[in-house]
Structure 1
């Protein structure tokens, strides 16, 4: 697929995802963020809202660690937004919103069910 076939919102979403993941690994010192994996980024057509989905290996959505991490991400939104503005040089820096992605949990559950069925 050529670069021209990919829409601008898609390219911006990819850059935002990459930048936030990089910030979490290299810049942010909060130990709760070390367990995070940014799984997806969706951006509104007008580029004003970026919805970032994250997962935490070994945790379920109901775990208190997930709630605490989400609260910490919300608290750090200003930092992430200012870094996006500085690094990506966007005219409009999107509002960053974080959501827990429970798809990896469901995948693990399905794999467990399949293995159980195969081994029965």
Structure 2
């Protein structure tokens, strides 16, 4: 009987929840913006964890550079707080990275919307769909 989720996946999910709360309520650094913890990828031996974040109003890793530096400097504090909240034999070392997938997703969505709008503008005003227009011309 196989398990639905691996242990590392369950621990990563728990770390994501705990880090989101600790960052929001415990870190008092004024340089740190509104941080969202999007994902945690943990090594198989549980010794390292990559934490992927986004910062409200900052759309690139370059813009979020200071926020990442603050979090990477606070990694020891965060690791200690996780050790108190989650009972693990080994609390992984934390490394924070910017998650650009949301920005890429927004960019792709806007490109799709532009393409749809361009297709709609090509449809003639007399017909509702391009297929009706093609059927009318083939009957001549």
Q: Normalization by structure 1: what TM-score?
A: 0.88
Structure 1 segments of 4 or more deviating over 6 A?
A: none
Residue number in structure 1 paired with 2:60: 61
Contact 1:48-1:93 at 8 Å conserved across structures: yes
| CA shift for structure 1 position 34 | 4.1
Out of 76, 89, 104, the residue aligned to residue 78 of structure 1 is 76
Residue number in structure 2 paired with 1:26: 25
Aligned residues: 116
Contact 1:13-1:43 at 8 Å conserved across structures: yes
Other structure's SS at 1:89 match: coil
Structure (1/2) with the larger helix percentage: 1
Contact 2:33-2:55 at 8 Å conserved across structures: no
CA RMSD of aligned residues (A): 1.5
Matches within 5 A, 1:1-120: 4-64=3-63, 66-120=64-118
CA distance in 2, matches of 1:5, 1:62: 34
Which protein is bigger by CA-based radius of gyration? 2
Gapped regions of structure 2 (runs ≥ 5): 119-140
Q: Normalization by structure 2: what TM-score?
A: 0.76
Q: Tell me which of the two structures has the higher relative contact order, counting C-alpha pairs closer than 8 angstroms and 6 or more residues apart.
A: 1
